Chains A and B, each alone.
Chain A
Amino acid sequence: MHPPSSTARRVLNGLSKHRLAFQRRANSTAVEPPPAGGHLPGVATSQLLRPTRDAALRTPGIKWKDEDNSTLGGRETRKMNTYQAVRDAMAIALAKDDTAVVFGEDVAFGGVFRCTMGLAEEFGKERVFNTPLTEQGIAGFGIGMASMGHTAIAEIQFADYIFPAFDQLVNEAAKIRYRSGNSFNVGKLTVRTPTMAVGHGGLYHSQSPEGFFMAGSGLKIVIPRSPIQAKGLLLGAIRDPNPVIFMEPKILYRSAVEQVPIDDFELPLGKAEVLVPGEDLTLVTWGTPVYHCETALHVLRSPSEELESLIPTSVRGAKVELIDLRSILPWDMETIVESVNRTGRLVIVHEAGAIGGVGSEIASEIQKRCFLKLNAPVRRVTGWDIPVGLTYEKFHIPDAIRVVDAIIETLTY
């Protein structure tokens, strides 16, 4: 057979390239679908994040948990996003505590949000393992392990799936210490779960169920807003002698990036953090809405052209105190009361619905304790009390516009 002439070769090459290109187009797997966890671009420029080493090491409330008592100067940080910070926290927990295990659905290959990436390789398959698809089983199993003194770090793949485990968490985990007269406890149980909306999750990938668990006395509930917070609060939660439900806002997994100290540190549970000091109004929130509130404060101070006419000049100079609640149960009543006593106005923002939500509990306690100091009714900006419809998600979540509106209404009451 003759070797093809150069012309023929060129033609053939061209044809095969064309065919390859055609195949590439026809083969739809060549294109990457958008990330499931969503992305909130506004977070990247947030002033509330700590993008430098100095700022990171000076995070208020940090408690270093290693024997290194040297000055801050010796400590290192690394750029991490939220899922990497969560992973780092679990790696430290697994390294320092021989009884610690991590389990949940699909965690062995790294998890659907990469929070357990590489942990199975680093610590072994007996310590980081997959469970079958059985939330009630996962919770019950974790409770059993924890009652035997094992540090059990369970993952519920999405907070929307936590409801089969509701009975185990509320009826067993929350009540074991009480009903056994302190002979048994499940303090070593931590349940991690991604929560809150991403913009396209629909009914079952967007819920914020912290309100349901707030009534489970005996449990603690923690919701971080950034990588440093996630790492510190998760380590604090794992080591807290009570069962903790740790809800991680999933849209922040990739969107929030900070310099995170690589050493072992904890942040306190049950304490809120004042992010922006103020004197005219208190704005309390947690999780993803923290960034919507930050945007709202910018809009209030210097509105864009379209919004100029809607923001009265009298309120533009208002100093709003922004507080991240961090722990939902127990919630830091002292800080909020102290703040509202000074400002006289309170707006609470959360993604879950208003009826029976965390905001309703905070509002009723504050009105009781600060009644005479309040200059306006306590206002809640929340998701609607409906299931999260697929196309409607951006109308469902409390965004900056609704928060600004609530702030203005409360300031001008």
Chain B
Amino acid sequence: MASLARVRLLGRRLPLGARGVQTTADTTQLHQAPSDASEPFTLKLHEDSFQTYNCPKPDLEVQVTKSELLEMYQQMTTMRRMEMAADALYKAKMIRGFCHLAIGQEAVSVGMEHGIDKNDRVITGYRCHPFAVLRGGSIKGVIAELLGRKGGMSQGKGGSMHIFTPSFFGGNGIVGAQVPVGAGAAFAQQYKGEKNCTFAMYGDGASNQGQVFEAYNMAKLWNLPTIFVCENNKYGMGTPAERSSSNTAYFTRGDKIPGLQRSLRSQVNGMDIIAAKQAVAYARKWAVDDQNGPLVLEFVTYRYGGHSMSDPGTTYRTREEVQRMRSTQDPIRGLQRYLEEWGVATEQELKAIDKEAKATVDQAVAEAKESPEPPLEDLWKDVYFKGTEPQFLRGREREEGKRFY
């Protein structure tokens, strides 16, 4: 079984000279076939899976269990369904404002969730819906927030980019602003002696913001347990990475901060969820257990949709490219192929998981739609600490409370 898998995998050629996009979803090889659902078995990642910048290579042998793989599949499928539901709701004009969907990038969020601890902190930019759910939120909470309802995780006042959980610091609209905030959170963790770290995430576009480098410097200077994660989806809205960045090897931009990337002319393969999990676990060990300070991780991934719902996504790249990525290098299909080849699950079982995911999301959407809009009094709530608001904010002015008809 394993040898068959190897032959098939070696037979696949990576497209040479493909325009910069080199992610592949199925170059992980199996060592021993699994038998029991919770019995750990070993996978061996491709020897070129990681490339490093001033740090040792991570272990290529990864321990996983059958149930974990199925959970990964289920989570990725559910996240994709959720994003697609948001897409449909936006087009139906029920979601207003700006909505940035992570369709295609599920391997990063799910892989990260499996590599880190519940109490680690994650902070990212505006493409945050899967993180919000995986870090302790709920699908209903996210959808309700997008719809602007009271049942949303920010009571409908934030919207798509501003969803938080106790271990997830959002959801940030200003590009790059979340990176120094992540460094600060890491400082607090270190100061309080917590055995945790902070994952400060940003994209290839944001990597050129000045404050990112300011955060790098502070993290290295004070040896903070901050993992800087660059989610490189090759486009900063309408500008391809090569046209915005003089150095597109984002994992090397930490200067004195070591970095981890995936080779074969590409970076840590966000499309290969096992490699993603391993990279994140390695980074966590680096920062928390070995206390080596910050690390820069780079996941190369791809988004199928545009930058946001207002962007068709085809004015700066060809439809063929999107189609090609979608059909050959989709993370969910890649994992599905592994699961079927290794006998972890049959096609029927996976289809059942798909159906269940759709049902879960549909149910959550229905619940979210039931949620009422926030009351007008909430307009004034939470500007300041409750009870310390200045009088003129708290409705003592006539025009605030005035009803016209």
Interface residues of A (CB under 8 A from B): 28-29, 31-36, 105-106, 108-110, 112, 130-134, 136-137, 160-161, 163-164, 199-205, 306-307, 310, 384-387, 389-392, 395-396, 401-402, 405-406
Residues of B near A389 (CB, < 8 A) are 156-158, 378-379
A28 x B88 contact (CB < 8 A):
yes
In the complex, the answer to whether B156 meets A203 with C-beta atoms within 8 Å is no
If A28-B88, A202-B159 touch, does A133 touch B376 (CB 8 Å cutoff)? no
A395 touches B379 (CB 8 A): yes
Q: How far is the CA of A32 from the CA of B309 in the complex (A)?
A: 9
In angstroms, Cα B312 to Cα A109, docked, is: 13
- B210 contacts A34, C-beta separation under 8 Å: no
* A202 to B73 Cα, complex, angstroms: 34
Chain A CB within 10 A, most for which of B87, B209, B308, B312: B209
Could you tell me if A106 and B404 are in contact, using CB atoms closer than 8 angstroms? Answer: no
Please tell me if the beta carbons of A28 and B91 are within 8 angstroms of each other in the complex: yes
Query: Can you list 23 A-B pairs with a CB-CB distance of less than 8 A?
Result: A28-B84, A34-B93, A36-B308, A36-B310, A133-B175, A133-B176, A133-B206, A161-B174, A202-B160, A204-B161, A306-B405, A307-B404, A310-B405, A384-B393, A386-B380, A386-B393, A389-B156, A389-B157, A391-B156, A391-B374, A392-B378, A402-B399, A405-B404
For the complex, would chain B's binding face be called helix, strand, loop or mixed by DSSP majority?
loop
Q: Please report which residues of chain B, range 27-61, place their CB below 8 angstroms from some CB of chain A when the two chains form the complex.
A: none
Closest to A389 in B: B157
Apart from A34-B93, A105-B239, A202-B160, what 6 extra A-B contacts exist at CB < 8 Å?
A: A28-B91, A137-B208, A203-B162, A310-B405, A389-B379, A392-B157
Top 4 closest pairs, chain A to chain B, by CB: A36-B310, A390-B159, A200-B96, A391-B148
Residues of A within 8 A of B359 (CB): none
Taking a contact as CB atoms under 8 Å apart, the answer to whether A36 and B98 are in contact is: yes
- Measured CB to CB, the closest approach of chain B to A377, in angstroms, equals 13
Residues of A with C-beta under 8 A to B293: none
Contact yes or no, B404 A310, CB < 8 A: yes
A365, B211: Cα distance in complex, Å: 39
- CA separation between A112 and B243, bound complex, in Å? 17
Q: Which residues of B contact A29 (CB under 8 A)?
A: 312
Is the Cβ of B97 less than 8 Å from the Cβ of A201?
A: yes
- Which residues B143-200 have CB closer than 8 A to chain A? 148-149, 156-162, 173-176
**B345 lies within 8 A of chain A by Cβ:** no
Q: Is B315 at the interface (CB under 8 A from chain A)?
A: yes
Closest B residue to A111 by CB, please name it. B238
A contact residues around B243 at 8 Å (CB): 130
Which residue of chain A lies nearest to B84 when distances are taken between CB atoms in the complex?
A: A28
B373 CB–A CB distance under 8 Å: yes
* Bound CA–CA A395/B312 (angstroms): 30
Distance A204 CA – B158 CA, assembled complex (angstroms): 10
Total interface residues on B, CB under 8 Å, equals 55
Known: A33-B90, A133-B176, A133-B205. A202 touches B156 (CB 8 A): no
B378 contacts which chain A residues (CB < 8 A)? 389, 392
B90: A residues at CB distance < 8 A: 33
A106–B239 CB distance below 8 A: yes
Partner of B173, one of A112, A131, A204, A396: A204
Interface centre among A133, A204, A405, by most chain B C-beta atoms within 10 angstroms, is: A133
Chain A CB within 8 A of B62 CB: no
B319 to chain A, nearest CB (A): 10
Of A31, A33, A137, A205, most B-chain CB atoms within 10 Å: A33
Complex interface: chain A residues within 8 A of B209 (CB): 133-134, 136, 164
Do B208 and A405 touch across chains, with their CB atoms under 8 A apart? no
Residues of B within 8 A of A35 (CB): 310
Contact of A390 among B156, B176, B310 (CB under 8 A): B156
Whole-angstrom distance from the CB of B397 to the nearest CB of chain A? 10
Please report the C-alpha to C-alpha distance between residue A62 and residue B323 in the assembled complex, in whole angstroms: 52
Q: How far is the CA of A230 from the CA of B79 in the complex (A)?
A: 44
Q: Say whether B236 faces chain A, with CB atoms less than 8 Å apart.
A: yes
Most chain-B CB neighbours within 10 Å: which of A29, A163, A199? A29
Q: Would A28 and B87 count as touching, CB distance under 8 A?
A: yes
**How far apart sit A57 and B268, CA to CA, in the bound complex (Å)?**
60
Query: Which B201-221 residues have a C-beta within 8 angstroms of A?
Result: 205-206, 208-211
Per a CB cutoff under 8 Å, which of B173, B208, B308 touches A134?
Answer: B208
B379 and A390: CB pair below 8 A?
A: no
**Chain B residue at minimum C-beta to C-beta distance from A309:** B405
Residue of A nearest to B173 (CB): A204
Is A405 touching B244 in the complex (CB atoms < 8 A)? Answer: no
The answer to whether A109 and B238 touch (CB under 8 A), given A34-B93, A137-B208, is yes
Chain B positions 245 through 272: 1 when the CB is less than 8 Å from some CB of chain A, otherwise 0: 1000000000000000000000000000
A405 touches B402 (CB 8 A): yes
Cβ contact within 8 Å between B91 and A31 = yes
Verify if B316 is at the interface (C-beta below 8 Å from A).
yes
The answer to whether A109 touches B316, judged by C-beta atoms less than 8 angstroms apart, is yes
Chain A residue with the shortest CB-CB distance to B314: A29
Question: What's the nearest-Cβ distance from chain B to residue A397, in Å?
Answer: 12
Cβ–Cβ < 8 Å partners of A32 in chain B: 91
B21 within 8 Å of A (CB atoms): no
Q: What is the minimal beta-carbon distance from A185 to any residue of chain B, in angstroms?
A: 25
Partner of B158 from A105, A203, A307 at Cβ < 8 Å: A203
Distance in Å from the Cβ of B175 to the closest Cβ of chain A? 6
Q: How far is the CB of A143 from chain B (nearest CB, A)?
A: 15
Closest to A392 in B: B379
**Contact present for B148 and A130 (CB under 8 Å):** no
Tell me how far the C-beta of B396 lies from the nearest C-beta in chain A, rounded to whole angstroms: 13
Partner of B379, one of A136, A201, A204, A384: A384
In the complex, residue of chain A having the shortest beta-carbon distance to the beta carbon of B205: A133
Q: Which B residues touch A200, using CB under 8 A?
A: 96-97
Tell me, in angstroms, the Cα distance from A36 to B95 when the chains sit together.
Answer: 12
Nearest residue, chain A, Cβ from B245: A132
Name the A residues within 8 Å of B87 (CB-CB).
28
| Contact of B237 with A by CB under 8 A | yes
What is the CB-to-nearest-CB distance from B108 to chain A, in angstroms, rounded to a whole number? Answer: 19
